[in-house]
Structure 1
């Protein structure tokens, strides 16, 4: 008899292990972390969760209420609002443009039959990756995998939807949040898929623009102008595409100035060569922090599974620091000129609109859409904007 969520929680606690289960944009995962003498227990538990979940009605409702409560709280968070609207602007009709935790309507509509049908179609061995990392030799590890997964029958997977990513288009959306003392600013556009050969130099370039080891945007907005406590830029790269986003929070009356400076820095990054010192600082941070990402068994498992999921060469994993340090100033200039489009940025501003909207014209943004908080739901879920997700890749790392 398969165990309920409570029984599974009690079982993992009994052996002093850790169980984590979740879903992200490109994958879902089950992670089991146990001591060596509980390895067989972990293998059995992992297989039970992945292959034969109960989907207990009471547990579904409990999770549903937790998600709905979380969404309700998030709707008061400017950073969350800016993120979901930014995703919609950048990815358009693509599933990547939908909020990761769904919408109130979509969460309420999911039934137990929906979950069981989705599981039956997508949770199959030919759509699954397994990593076993720890103090265990290959032979018993493979034997355990064969024991718990050997009779799992492959099935034909559905064809992924042909949802093309839209070309970057300049668009400015203001989400009016009366009473806000600050404005959340998000600026960016489509980036690269994770398997792009230019991912590495583009990631380094964005570290110079707004990441650890560099951060031009932070230097200008915080150090030089005192407009924010923190400003940054990041790259998100997935299976079918990605984006880059620069972000900052500033006081309402400084919104237009901060936005202009952020856009100017993106343009400067695309227009001018970076200095050798900027590149070396970014390289030192990325190469120096890499050992921290492979310290623990579960971290190693995550790195290996990510490489497999995105079709990367596993042989490249241990050479990451060397490949980072091999990036040149010329490569940074090439990728920024190829992929940054400062004239086609999607811009989201969340704050008290009356405090800054009139200032936007003066800094070059005269075509602005204004949404109320109540209009965000329809903006995200209009029938002509929704694309269903028909492909899912569960990752199942097992870490003894």
Structure 2
């Protein structure tokens, strides 16, 4: 039986979002699609943990928006959304908070009424705040007993420094001193028209567009807080977190590089994909298939607003930690000393472009890509630019990038486990 040839698409058609600048200076982006009777409204605010002055105030403000408003209790909000089959989701990262409402088209008005309460009228009730903080403190304490969490936090500290906004890890006891005033102040400062935008996708007509615009125009205009300059990262090349009795070690290897706007970011994504971006990648074949050191290992480029980094992550048995590290270094060095075979390179490129196509399948996926492109200062023309760049790359290009950025002396290595490797 003959395998069909791999065909890498040369382009993909993606409709550009329609942008409307609202009266309060906020921006509304719409992606209309009549294929499904659903729509999603996502409000994006530059309100991530990197801009907070009080530990946990950013995540608490985002997660407590629906815990009581001027006219609705938390129970009423949850009951109303559940009754109409609507979906409410909050995501927060180092840089941004993403507040999304997904609804059937026929229940648009009812869902938007709840969205108006959540976004414009949160009260952050004291009783709910204390319950939230106690639960989060306990959850964080439990999470920090796991070697993968210890390694992840230690890796961020090693890359950026323990005082850097991207590297800091606040103690769980900081939840005890977090006040309602802290949370309300963060909300009032960062959930403003100037500090965010809205993306609406799905079945959107003139009525829905105008209604979402009317809601977004109610976001207050306030003078943004003075931006605190980011300190320069302070990188530590090796760190070990001792975890007595652990049966596994959690490994992080990588280095600080650059955010998505850098011309070499895409090429380093190809490097990361070949190393550990899919099930048959080099690291998976080595650590899992050949040696049985781990169930899984991944490599990726990670993008923040102001920084970006390359990372390899794996959990391995304590007794094979040193051997696993040696094999990871060896696979990275193999990327540097020889080009990818043509067949392997074609597979990597096909997987990457195929993943881009998968993400763009449907209005909500397109909305996610739209948000990412807005945050990077681009539009959807970058999609076909990236496809073209991936198609044009050669094995020599990828080897050159690995040589340039993945020298052994530049790598940061973090291990959390029972014994130092």
Q: Do they fold alike, i.e. is TM over 0.5?
A: yes
Give the alignment of 1:331-346 within 5 angstroms. Answer: 331-346=397-412
From 295, 306, 324, the equivalent of 1:229 is: 295
Query: d(CA) in 2 for partners of 1:153 and 1:351?
Result: 48
Match of 1:97 in 2: 167
Most deviating of 148-157 and 80-89: 148-157
From 127, 138, 141, the equivalent of 2:195 is: 127
Match of 2:363 in 1: 297
CA RMSD in angstroms comes to 2.2
- In the TM superposition, what whole-angstrom CA distance separates every residue of 1:333-352 from its partner, at most 9, and x where no partner exists? 33323332421222122221
Q: 1:290 to 1:256 in 2, by over 3 A?
A: same
Match of 2:127 in 1: 58
Contact 1:4 1:56 in 2 (8 A): no
The TM-score, its normalising length taken from structure 2, stands at 0.77
Most deviating of 9-18 and 49-58: 49-58
Q: 1:47 to 1:329 in 2, by over 3 A?
A: farther
**What secondary structure is seen at the aligned counterpart in 1 of 2:293?**
coil
From 139, 147, 153, the equivalent of 1:84 is: 153
From 148, 160, 175, the equivalent of 1:107 is: 175
Contact 1:22 1:28 in 2 (8 A): yes
**What secondary structure is seen at the aligned counterpart in 2 of 1:58?**
helix
Query: d(CA) in 2 for partners of 1:336 and 1:156?
Result: 45
The answer on 1:178 being equivalent to 2:248 is: no
Where do 4+ consecutive residues of structure 1 move more than 4 Å?
A: 318-323
Query: d(CA) in 2 for partners of 1:250 and 1:15?
Result: 45
Contact 2:86 2:104 in 1 (8 A): yes
Match of 2:215 in 1: 148
**What secondary structure is seen at the aligned counterpart in 2 of 1:239?**
coil
The structure whose residues are more often helix, as a share, is 1
Query: d(CA) in 1 for partners of 2:384 and 2:194?
Result: 27
Shift, 1:315, TM fit: 2.3
Matched residue count: 351
Match of 2:84 in 1: 15
Give the alignment of 1:208-357 within 5 angstroms. Answer: 208-212=274-278, 215-317=281-383, 321-353=387-419, 357=420
Q: 1:240 to 1:214 in 2, by over 3 A?
A: farther
Contact 1:286 1:321 in 2 (8 A): no
User: Which of 1 and 2 has higher RCO (CA within 8 Å, sep 6+)?
Assistant: 1
Shift, 1:89, TM fit: 0.5
Shift, 1:222, TM fit: 2.1
**What secondary structure is seen at the aligned counterpart in 1 of 2:313?**
strand
Query: d(CA) in 2 for partners of 1:88 and 1:13?
Result: 40
Query: d(CA) in 1 for partners of 2:129 and 2:362?
Result: 32
Shift, 1:263, TM fit: 1.8
